[in-house]
Amino acid sequence: MEKLNNISVEELLNRINNDLKNTLSEKRYKHSLGVMKKAEELASIYGIDTNVAKLTGLAHDIGKEFSDEEMLKYAKENNIEVDNVEKVNVGLLHAKIGADICKKKYNFTLEMQNAIKYHTVGNENMDLLAKIIFVADKTEEGRNYKKDEKNEQLQKVRELSKIDINKALLYEIDSSLIYTIQKHKLVHTDSILTRNKLLKDGVNI
């Protein structure tokens, strides 16, 4: 992709970069740059358009710093469905909201919108771009955890991501499901469906 909405990718990256710099916290802004970089790296490994991956990675958390009230208001005003898990964990809505903002503000393609929509809990219809954004979000270079066990898992997903994106995705989903269950938190059914789809497709670790 050279242009989107008749402006060059370079110009659009600059525009999104400025918007994020002005609205996100320093930490989230750096994370966004990290995801852009990782998404570009993975896109070149797996042979998809690096510009598409960069734009999507950069913008993926654009809706992340809304308060719960703002998210629910945005969802209502923009006809975004709030499912039963999102009603409890309102923050999950940042994925659907981010996709909607990018559609309206930057004219992102449906594929790019879906990659943003699926980046938090996954979706059984994820394509290669969506898988790359999901894994880039979890493995960008700025990520690290206080617990050794989580850092070991992170290293494993980083290694797998360079060899087989499906294995990286399955390993990440398994680890986060185990963690969510141990914390006695709600599991989103889309994570289970994504996992089942990978297993049915023959992915193994």
Q: For binding to Fe ion (CB under 5 A), which residues are involved? A: 61, 137
The residue (of 40 and 137) whose beta carbon lies closer to Fe ion is: 137
What string of DSSP letters covers 133-163? HHHHHHH-TT---SSHHHHHHHHHHHHHHHH
Of 46, 52, 39, 200, give the one whose Cα is nearest residue 124. 200
The residue (of 60 and 167) whose beta carbon lies closer to Fe ion is: 60
CB of 181 to Fe ion, least distance (A): 21
The residue (of 5 and 22) whose beta carbon lies closer to Fe ion is: 22
The residue (of 8 and 25) whose beta carbon lies closer to Fe ion is: 25
Neighbours of 39 (CB within 10 A): 29
CB of 120 to Fe ion, least distance (A): 5
Gap between the Cα atoms of 47 and 38, Å rounded: 14
CB of 26 to Fe ion, least distance (A): 15
At 179, list the tokens: 């963690």
Three-state SS at 201: coil
Gap between the Cα atoms of 156 and 15, Å rounded: 34
**Exposed/middle/buried for 139, CB within 10 Å: 0-12, 13-18, 19+?**
buried
CB of 137 to Fe ion, least distance (A): 4
Gap between the Cα atoms of 165 and 176, Å rounded: 16
CB of 34 to Fe ion, least distance (A): 9
The residue (of 61 and 190) whose beta carbon lies closer to Fe ion is: 61
